[in-house]
Amino acid sequence: MTVINLVLMDNLNRETRKQLVTEEATVADVQTLVTAFLPLWAAVSGLGIQSAEVKFDLTVTPQTPVNPSNIDEGATFNVTTGDGYKTGYKIPGILEAHRLPGGAIDLTDADIIAYFTDFDTGNSRVNANNPTTIDVVNAGVLDK
Question: According to the model, what pLDDT value does residue 128 have?
Answer: 61
Average pLDDT, integer, range 112-135 = 82
- Residue 100 has what DSSP assignment? -
Choose among 4, 11, 41: nearest CA to 25.
Answer: 4
pLDDT over 90 (residue 113): yes
The dihedral over CA atoms of 25, 26, 30, 31, expressed in degrees to the nearest 10, equals 180
Contact by Cβ (8 Å): 106, 98: yes
Report which of residues 123 and 88 the model is more confident about.
88
Kindly indicate the confidence band of residue 26, based on its pLDDT and cuts at 50, 70 and 90: confident
Mean pLDDT of the chain: 88
Average pLDDT, integer, range 32-37 = 90
Contact by Cβ (8 Å): 107, 120: no
Instruction: Parse the chain into domains and list their residue ranges.
Output: 2-55, 74-142
Kindly indicate the confidence band of residue 129, based on its pLDDT and cuts at 50, 70 and 90: low
